[in-house]
Structure 1
Amino acid sequence: MLLSSASRRLLLLVLLLATPSLLFAWGAWSHQRINRAAVLALPPALRTFFYNHADFVTEEAVMPDARKFVLRDKAEGPRHFIDLEAYPVPLTQLPRTAAEARSRYDAATLAKNGTLPWTIQENLAQLTQAMKNGRKDEILFLAADLGHYLGDAQMPLHTSTNHNGQLTGQTGIHAFFEGQLPELFGATYRFNVGPATYLADPVAETWRLLAESHASADTLLAVERRLQAQVPEADRYEHDAQGALRKTQFNDDYHARAYATRYHQALGSFVERRLRVAVQSTANFWYTAWVNAGQPDLSQLDSDYTTRSNARNLKHELRLLQKGQLVDLKTNPEF
């Protein structure tokens, strides 16, 4: 039985409040904005349908993490990352497709080292089929998931064994980079990307995105290491009235605002660029699924009343996007 919109929101809130943030790529703040901006980057023929359900696709952007941490779905974890250094061959020699990966590596190896690129490809195929079949609920669930995994792919530490800085004396950098920085400074980010484009070779594009993201992992780590050498440890974190380290509800350390500001400034537009790539790639993959499905008229899956009711808000959001802005989503803060 499908839940009402209000019931889904309540369930989502409960799940989010119970979910730890480690490997919660980009945090709810960014995942939801990636999907929202991607909806607006779609061409009009596809955007109408997606905007009719923009709230759903936005909220559901964090559900893959909830499945992993709250529902304890063991199959979910490997879908969010790939430890490229853990595989004994260069990235260019890794299996291109999920079928090839399963033929070369056993299930235990894939579960340990991660399956993110192959998850993206399989999710794209499922979304394409759902569009062919005109299955509205499936389209929306799969599209939201695909946006999440593409967002994960653009968080560089989701491509590395040093996923939390634990190998370089930087434990905690994962949540610092993906959660605290966007929440503190994301109001200045621009989310207007180019229009969605068709991907003639989604497999090649998946690996291009992973390679680009992985190449930038050392940068975000190196910048923070240099900053560590300049700032005493006691000045890197916030403390409570008793002098203890201040912790989030997910037991992550609060980095001091001054330290976070210096790190964000030293990174330049690094965080914003990665989020913009995530938005663009999400729109591209959704659009590619639709084209490969034969460009069905998905707006026919909704009533004229629904489309008419949303038309004014869509125009408003498109005007905001021209300035790089999104509507205020009121995301539950993690920091």
Structure 2
Amino acid sequence: MFSIRRRAVLAAAVLVAVPSLLMAWGNWGHQRVNRAAVLALPAPMRTFFYNHIDFVVTEAVIPDSRKYVLSDRAEGPRHYVDLENYGDDLNAIPHAAADAYAKYDAAQLDKEGRLPWYVQDMMVKLTAAMKKQHKDEILFVAADLGHYLGDATQPLHTSANHDGQKTGQKGVHAFYESQMVEQFGKTYNFKLAEPKFIEDPTAEIWRIVLQAHAAADTLLAVEKQLAAATPADQVIEASNGQPRKNIFNSSYRTQAYTAAVHQKLNRMVERQLRTAAQATANFWYTAWVNAGKPDLTKLDTEYTTKSNEHNLKEELKTLDKSGKLVDFSSFTEFPQGK
């Protein structure tokens, strides 16, 4: 297994190489979901996770890198679930991972997505790592779990119409999860509630997925309506007479159009990101409780903890006062400026 230091180096090297289609909240969103979750944890957990917050934040986007940079074929289906393709009756879809693996063959799961069941698998692994008090495994699995919970809250990761390709809205995926987030994310409130113990993680992940799925139609309807009512040259930003593209070949929407959609969605993006961060804190906390509440602070030296005390206090003070996270750098898919 890679050491935490080697994983962080790998992460930094590959961020810019990852296409955006399966990155539910882009680098900017995924990383802030994990950071907000760390700060919401109770003190016995928070101290340990904050000691390694750079790793937990960086690792938040590595599940996407594994698919595209390392060509890990098993990775892709973990990020989505095309619910419509599992049948018209959503209630007939098995909720428990064991039941789903018994009902569907591997080919169907790989095609239509494994997301809610993989979250269950990750919870088993995180709880086991907590029980063993295996430091690297705890951080690695917890950070990845935050990514998949982020995916579960992104409406388009629960729909077969994941990029608006079935409704003439191709490109809406990156627009929703990255451009809007990058343009307005600094205004979002990331102050979370104290994490709650989840009595039934299987039911909870399905509650999250079904809530996100219900929002997909709203998202697509709002964007389609505004696009039809807006002149084309005011929807897509132009550069030298051609649609402006980012490094992943996704078209920029104009800032005015992005603002109009964001407003019409009535802060849906912020709500879903907060849901992701709160869910991440809740699932981490539940794994810790189920593991017997081990003393994670013993996994670090006193020097490490003392070195981070001041920054943790200041960061919590800022969050309590303004609801804002500290301003840290993330790779942006839609940088402004020519």
Report the TM-score, using the length of structure 2 for normalisation.
Answer: 0.96
Inter-partner Cα distance in structure 2 for 1:18 and 1:195: 36
Contact 2:237-2:252 at 8 Å conserved across structures: yes
How far apart are the structure 2 equivalents of 1:10 and 1:246? 31
2:91 is aligned with 1:112: no
* Aligned partner letter, 1:211: L
Q: Map 1:1-335 to 2 at 5 A.
A: 2-3=2-3, 5=5, 8-241=7-240, 243-322=241-320, 323-335=322-334
Counterparts of 2:3 and 2:98 in 1: how far apart (Å)? Answer: 34
Work out the CA distance in 2 between the residues paired with 1:2 and 1:117: 27
Amino acid at match of 2:195: A
Per-residue CA deviations over 1:172-220 (Å, capped at 9, x if unaligned) read 0000000000100111000001111100111110111111111000111
Q: Distance in 2 between matches of 1:312 and 1:91?
A: 49
Tell me if the contact between 2:196 and 2:282 (Cα under 8 Å) persists in the aligned partners.
yes
How far off its partner does 1:24 sit? Answer: 1.3
- Quick one: distance in 2 between partners of 1:253 and 1:42? 38
Letter of the aligned partner of 2:317 in structure 1?
A: R
1:223-252, CA deviations, whole angstroms, 9 ceiling, x for partnerless residues?
1111012112222111112x1111101111
- Paired with 1:146 and 1:9, the residues of 2 have a C-alpha distance of 17
Q: Which amino acid aligns with 1:38?
A: A
Q: Tell me the matched-pair count.
A: 333
Measured after TM superposition, the shift of residue 15 of structure 1 is: 1.1
Q: Matched residues in 2 for 1:272 and 1:90: separation?
A: 29
* CA offset digits 1:137-166 (Å, max 9, x no partner): 000000011000000000000000000000
Distance in 2, matches of 1:249 and 1:11, equals: 20
Q: Which whole-Å deviations, capped at 9, do the CAs of 1:110-163 have from their partners, x for residues lacking one?
A: 111100000000001100000100110000000011000000000000000000
Per-residue deviation, 1:90: 2.2
CA distance in 1, matches of 2:3, 2:48: 20
Q: 1:11 Cα shift? A: 2.4
Q: Give per-residue Cα distances to partners, 1:12-40, cap 9 Å, x unaligned.
A: 23211111111211100000000000001
Deviates more, 1:181-190 or 1:87-96: 87-96
| RMSD, aligned CA | 1.2
The superposition leaves residues 235-293 of structure 1 with CA deviations (integer Å, 9 ceiling, x where unpaired) of 2111112x111110111111111111111111111100000000100000000000000
Tell me, in whole angstroms, the C-alpha distance in 2 between the residues paired with 1:4 and 1:213: 32
Letter in 2 for 1:271: V
Secondary structure at the counterpart of residue 243 of structure 2: coil
Contact 2:126/2:141 (CA < 8 Å) preserved in 1? yes
Residue type matched to 2:168 in 1? G
Structure 2 distance, partners of 1:35, 1:268, is 24
1:91 deviates by: 2.3
Normalized against structure 1, the TM-score is what?
0.97
What letter corresponds to residue 305 of structure 2 in structure 1? T
Which has the higher mean CA deviation after the structures are superposed, 12-21 or 265-274? 12-21
Cα distance in structure 2, aligned partners of 1:175 and 1:289: 32
Alpha-carbon distance, 1:92 to partner: 2.1
Structure 2 Cα separation of the partners of residues 215 and 58 of structure 1: 29
Query: Residue 3 of structure 2 contacts residue 136 of structure 2 at CA under 8 Å; is this kept in 1?
Result: no
Q: Which amino acid aligns with 1:134?
A: Q
Q: Which amino acid aligns with 1:112?
A: K
Q: Identity rate of aligned residues, in percent?
A: 57
Q: Structure 1 CA distance, aligned partners of 2:40 and 2:100?
A: 32
Instruction: Note the residue ranges of structure 2 that are not aligned, 5 or more in a row.
Output: none
User: How far apart, in 2, do the equivalents of 1:140 and 1:10 lie?
Assistant: 15
Tell me by how many angstroms 1:3 deviates. 4.8
Residue 2 of structure 1, CA deviation: 4.1
The residue type equivalent to 2:284 in the other structure is: W
For the Cα contact (< 8 Å) 2:8–2:59, is it kept in 1?
no
CA distance in 1, matches of 2:225, 2:100: 38
Whole-angstrom distance in 2 between the partners of 1:49 and 1:67? 26
